[in-house]
Amino acid sequence: MRFDDRFLEELKTRLRPSEVIGKSVKLRRNGKEWVGLSPFTKEKTPSFYVNDLKGQFFDFSSGKNGDIISFLQETERLSFNEAVERLAGMAGMALPAVTPQAIAAEQKIRGLGDWMELAAQWFVNRLHDKTPAAQNAREYLTRRGLSAEDIKTFGLGYSPRDHTALKDALVQKGAKVSELVECGLLIEVDGKAPYDRFRDRLMFPIHDQRGHVVSFGGRALNPDEKAKYLNGPETPLFHKGRMLFGLPKALKLLGSEDTHAELVVVEGYMDAIACQRAKIAAVAPLGTALTEEQIDLLWRRHPEPTLCFDGDNAGRRAAYRALDRALPKLKPGRSFKVCLIEGGKDPDEVLREKGALALREALTHTRPFVDVLFQREFEVETLDTPEKKAGFKKRLRALADQIEDKDLAQSYRQDLLERYDTLYKPQYQPGQGAPQAEYRRDFRGGFRGKPLPPITTPEGVRASQALSASIDPIAAALAQGLIDNPEWMEDQVEGVEAYGLGDPQLDPIARLLVTLSFQHQGLDRETLTRHLHKQGLGALLSEIQKAALKSGAPFLAPDTTLAHAHARWIEAFNAMSRLTALDRALNSAYDQVGTEFFTRLKLERDSLRRSLRSGQIWQDAAKKA
């Protein structure tokens, strides 16, 4: 069976190498890459790396490298066709039919692609013509801050005013007029001979994921032109809802060492180019709102891309449309961040006015998906009546219910309603007959509450001082586990944000872990340790190590496997989180001493605390395993 380049490229973009290879090789996150033991040699120190952005694996112990197809060929002794068929099944792609018609169609598409490449070069050449119109186009680019090197890098060109200039040039090289119509370069109108689609426009080549020119976008240079931007039509080469402008260059930037590991979605061609000039991996939709296929394409390349639309009302509406399209498809590890640049600026304006550093800084100020979603509904109307507040709450529930992943839907429902309660739940003061302790969640997450009445007996004071002088061993073990393996935070950010690590002395580290997890995709130990010292928490690290040694936590044992350690850590963290929740519940119920509910909570809390402090939890976990 023959597989054309387009099929193979689509196959590779639908599957992350780490997911395919991770089925047979135990991998762990290491910065931008994944690392594990070589499947080709016997080794004790991992030297096998997988890079999703480059779509490659690298095995330094055997010297082998390749893509997911060659990996299956090497590890499972499959032929090329067998490996492709296996991967197509994983990706849910139907195998192409091998017929004379299919072969002819493939050859035709290649021919159309050749004419697009020639057209792109022709537009580039016309930009450098010594004509007033070409001079006007060059001056426009200079005003937008692009250098001659930028113009060359992004393949920018110019389409002359003549209605048949491109047509005549390509026909002279052997093109058929019907082919040029089919690939969108010419317009065919009944009763008229086909003529050039793009005239007196600055030309932006649009590339597919392989870097081949498949269409163009044209920016009008005449201010009186009705259509400021004009995109090519749907063709056998070009499907605007399944492609993103600037994607090939963005992927190269993501894989380079001097680029921040973020993928940014902007509104227009010039914004995408501005970001890429500033070493920011950026793409833009092709004249439409983000489609589901484009969202899937983004998530295959980055777990949490940043939506950066213009800071004006139109940009805000575009961001909201993208949120609505993405909402049902959200999953753990698949979301968006939102950046609305202050002052109604767009990325291109920021770059021209303030420079690359300012643009990179502006794009770090992002808000979580759920935060922008809540803010949008809050701004729908003035919430000055019970009816409007009830409607607001109903909309929040309806939004959460759109999420297809049930666990995530429940988490969103809880988060959105907690934000609602923060705004409208009555605030009580001590001594007014209301509950003496109240916990509520603010917009940034985390709980705040009033402590139990202070201990005043001499014995209690001495015990309190002794406890405050050292860190709880189990809490220290949890912190040490995250310091050694920051990637464990990926699935536990909400839990650490809400419950901490079980000891107030560790709250600064818990807060920093949450912040860094949002800022750094693939947080590694070196980056974490550097930030801990920068925040003045270096001295706390040795205290954590000392206390952790007393815990007997099996996930810190040097001879345990990474997977086993991770599982045991999660069990301990869940238990500590439950203990914290029970303490808070009892604190809230302080004025209900003697009730059956309070007694039941207290018994569960005390039993769980004994299990943690005695080490019984490890024995119970071992029995379950």
Parallel/antiparallel/unpaired status of strands 28-30 and 229-231: unpaired
Q: Are 203 and 158 in contact (CB under 8 A)?
A: yes
Does the pLDDT at position 77 exceed 50? yes
> Looking at residue 451, what is its pLDDT?
35
What pTM was estimated for this model as a whole?
0.60
Does the pLDDT at position 188 exceed 60? yes
Does the pLDDT at position 462 exceed 50? no
User: For residues 609 and 236, what is the distance between their CA atoms, to the nearest angstrom?
Assistant: 65
Domains of the chain, with CATH numbers? 5-91 (3.90.580.10), 100-238 (3.90.980.10), 247-375 (3.40.1360.10), 380-424 (no CATH), 458-624 (1.10.860)
Q: Are 611 and 617 in contact (CB under 8 A)?
A: yes
> Looking at residue 215, what is its pLDDT?
95
Mean pLDDT of the chain: 82
Tokens 């891309």 found at:
305
Q: Which range, of 29-33, 99-103, 128-132, 317-321, averages the lowest pLDDT? A: 99-103
User: For residues 324 and 370, what is the distance between their CA atoms, to the nearest angstrom?
Assistant: 12
Distance of CA 593 to the CA centre of its chain: 47
Measured at the CA of 242, the angle between CA 236 and CA 247, to 5 degrees, comes to 105
> Looking at residue 256, what is its pLDDT?
64
Measured at the CA of 471, the angle between CA 468 and CA 477, to 5 degrees, comes to 165
Q: Which range, of 20-24, 210-214, 299-303, 426-430, averages the lowest pLDDT? A: 426-430
Q: Are 443 and 419 in contact (CB under 8 A)?
A: yes
For 462-490, what is the mean pLDDT?
74
Q: Which two tokens stand for residue 425?
A: 């739940």
* 473: confidence class by pLDDT, cuts 50, 70, 90: confident
Candidates 279, 277, 271; CA nearest to 245 is 271
Parallel/antiparallel/unpaired status of strands 263-265 and 306-309: parallel
Q: Which two tokens stand for residue 322?
A: 């993208």
In terms of DSSP H, where are the helices of 278-346? 292-301, 313-326
Parallel/antiparallel/unpaired status of strands 306-309 and 337-340: parallel
For 583-612, what is the mean pLDDT?
65
Q: 3-class DSSP state for residue 231?
A: strand
Q: 3-class DSSP state for residue 125?
A: helix
- 65, β-bridge pairs: 58
User: For residues 263 and 282, what is the distance between their CA atoms, to the nearest angstrom?
Assistant: 6
* 170: confidence class by pLDDT, cuts 50, 70, 90: very high
Q: 3-class DSSP state for residue 538?
A: helix
